[in-house]
Every structure is written in structure tokens, then in C-alpha cells.
Structure 1
């Protein structure tokens, strides 16, 4: 992993014409640059953005004070659509995990693979709900996404490809509906503007005037939505 002075980062080169620096959800720094950019030019960009990088890292540290490490035991709380549901371990059940009577019910024999059961639950629920909202925002933005996937995206809530494929992290289903909408609208707007330019935020503002508040909520509470 390259570093410049006291800043360690992951370097990714692409065909894009602009450069970007991101503080990922795990606190690591990603630098995205055009193929032809030299090492000296990259270091000059990092030096120029040093204040912003440390500001974003400070925000990340504040947000991660909310990180929760959950155990798969009776009474532990797990999020779904912004609400916290307690876990109940049950002996007999036709499926590994389901939400019933205000509780997550986990079949006892699935305890060794409890995380996999939760991930599959979020993916299954996300396939319909996210696809429905993608259709809604697709019409508002007048875009034509190609393939939509619910998957593990490591440190990102969503991603997109130049081919028009759009991906969403299964953890998205832990968030309130208003925040899920923000994540979906954000990624679909990238099909119009592939970066976070002023034009991108202006486009998003047209269909979601309160996106700033939703974005701030996600930054503050996102670390708490994990397994």
C-alpha cells in the first residue's frame, strides 16, 4: 500500500479524467486517478487535499464511536428498515431466520452460521424493496440502469459501473426507508454524472431536496448498521 508522508492510501487507476480521494467506511483512504497521472502529480494532489483528508478522517472517527459489535444471543438487537428487533433463538422453525411477532427468530441449529442467515435475509428482502425504489427513481431521473444486484460491497453502500450496472450493499436494508431512498437515488444519479461534482449534487437535489440531511444521518449512524 503506497503512502505519502503520513498518509497511507490505496491507489486505483482508471480511464476517468478526474481524480478523487475517499475515506472509506473502514477509515482507509482510497485515491482514484486517471491512468496517465504520475506519482509526483498524485503526491501533489494529496498534499493539496491534506486538510480535507484529515477533516474527513475526524468525521469518520466521530461516526465510528457508534459502531456496535453484536453477538448472536437471545435479546441482542438487530436493525431492519431502521427499527431495532431483538433476537430470539428457537428450537424448531421451517427457515433459518425470520421476523415474527416483533422479533428476529433464529433457528438454533443455524447458530454456527447465524451471520450468513442474516445476510441472506437482508438480501432476500432487499431484492424486491430496492428494485421497486430503483424503478421509482429511475423514472424521476430518466436513466436506464442495467443489472441491479444486492451484494457485499465491503466499505460502500452502493456502487455503479460504466455499463450501467448498479449494486447495493445488503446492509442497506438495516437503514430507515428514507435513507435507503437516498442511497438508491445517489447511485442512480451517477448514471448521469459519474463523479461528485456540483452538477451531480444539483441533479440529486432536484429529486431529493433534503439529501443533505439524509447524507448526514448516514455518516453519523452508518457504522452502527453492521453484524
Structure 2
């Protein structure tokens, strides 16, 4: 979908530029999503620092700008906070008792002198072979990737039928700051870190990506499609934006 040219606008505060799908103000760029079902405006600061606004379809541009102006201090604070968290996300040391997430729960680490596999999850604890500590991160990433592959394949199998989506392949890999993606070739990909999220949040990631099979952008019709299958998608999306940073640091 082609974007309309940006138009300058001033409401008495900082100058802003607005198009149908984007708003730029005070050095910040927001993706704008409008919906006939939306009754209030909401700003979300994503895990990556990306910014988005959801607003009712009837809200005029100057009112949208005024709303953002009132929230600028909060937005800048959140952006800086996420940047600091990403820089300071503690790296795992793979020591006894250290916590590792899996499907939203933290499991303590036990170091085992002798076991057949490098890593296992037993009785609520991750068990890592002591002699494999030097490869700890690679071992955990491999374990998470295998579990994520199984979990998301099952989710996609159930959701794709209900959402009318034909999926050629489910892939799990490192996607950088993206939780998932849906390709034009019918392949859906998920970040291996998505298996660290609580199940209801990981499910939102799956529904979100499958909805892109119908609408590649984040237009109002896209969010309507998401809402058809997850009526409470807003709180899940907000939770992910505010808490997804917990999956960093491995």
C-alpha cells in the first residue's frame, strides 16, 4: 500500500508531519493504525524501540498530534529505558541456581557432572552437563530452537485452518528484533526467543503473523482480522511491548 505524502501540521506545540500511516514529531516516528472499533488512542513502545499509535478512524490529524505531544516526555523516557535495558541485559553465566525462562516460567539451573545429553529439563529445573558450560549459550539456543519448532508447528497447524491460511513451512531462527514474519511464499518464521514468552503471548505472535497472510501491513483491517481470533489482542500486544525485553540476555 502506497503511503500518502507527509503533511506538516502545528497545534501550538512542536511541529509535526502526518500521513495516513505515519506521524513524525520531535525526532520520533510513529506507525499509525486506525480502527472503526477503537474508541481511545494508545501509544505502544515496542521491544525494539519502534513506536506505534492505535486510534479511532474518526480522530483528525491535529487531535492525534496533540495526544502525542502530551505524551512526549513519557515516550522519550520509555525509548531511553528500553535502549538501556538492551545494553544492560545481563549475560547468562551458566552458574548453579541461575534462572532461565521457558514458556513464561523461570527454571533454575543445576550443573550435573554426568548425564547423557548436554541439557535437559527435569522436575522444573534445567540440568546442564558441567563439562559443557563453555558452550552453554549454544546449547541453550539449540534446545530452545527445537522446543520452539515443535510448539509453533502445533500452534500453526490449529490456527491456519481457522484463519484460512495455507502455510508451506514453519521455521524457527534468529530474527533480530522481530518476533516473527510471514513471507509471500507461505513460510512463517518465529524467533527462537518466542518460546521464552508465556503461552498466551507466544500465541499472539502466531496469530499476528498468520494474519499477515491476508494483510501484509498493519492496517485497520489487519487488526480486525487479529481481533476475530484473539478478542483480547490489545493487552497481549501491550504485554509483549512492555515485557518482551525479559527474553534478552542469553
1:175 aligns with 2:197: yes
Deviations 1:45-82 (A, max 9, x none): xxx9xx69x67664444456766413211111010011
Q: Secondary structure at the match of 2:171?
A: strand
Kept after mapping to 2: 8 A contact 1:66/1:221: no
Shift of 1:164: 1.6
Given that 1:79 and 1:225 are in contact with CA atoms closer than 8 Å, whether structure 2 keeps it comes out as yes
Structure 1 unaligned regions, length at least 5: 1-15, 30-47
What are the residue-to-residue correspondences of 1:32-181 with 2, within 5 Å? 58-62=77-81, 68-69=89-90, 70-181=92-203
Q: Aligned equivalents of 1:210 and 1:182: distance in 2?
A: 9
- TM-score (structure 1 length as normaliser): 0.75
Name the Cα RMSD after superposition: 2.5
2:183 paired with 1:198: no
| Over 3 Å off, 4+ runs | 16-29, 54-68
Change (3 A) 1:92 1:105: same
TM-aligned CA distance change 1:110 to 1:26, over 3 Å: farther
What corresponds to 1:17 in structure 2?
Answer: 2
Deviations for 1:117-163, whole angstroms, at most 9, x for unmatched residues? Answer: 11111111111111010011101110102221010011110012121
Per the TM alignment, residue 185 of structure 1 is displaced from its structure 2 partner at its CA by: 0.3
Q: CA deviation at 1:109?
A: 1.6
Larger C-alpha radius of gyration, 1 or 2? 2
Shift in alpha-carbon separation, 1:160–1:57, aligned structure 2, 3 A: farther
Normalised by the length of structure 2, the TM-score is 0.69
Q: Which runs of 5+ in 2 are unaligned?
A: 4-20, 23-28, 32-44, 52-64
Separation in 2, partners of 1:80, 1:203: 29
Q: How many equivalent pairs are there?
A: 191
Q: Which of 183, 188, 195 is the equivalent residue of 2:210?
A: 188
* Offset at residue 93 of structure 1 (A): 1.1
Distance 1:120 1:137 in 2: 25
1:25 CA drift (Å): 3.7
> Counterparts of 1:125 and 1:94 in 2: how far apart (Å)?
19
Contact 2:47 2:82 in 1 (8 A): no
Alignment partners' CA distance in 1, 2:50 and 2:118 = 34
Secondary structure of the corresponding residue to residue 186 of structure 1: helix
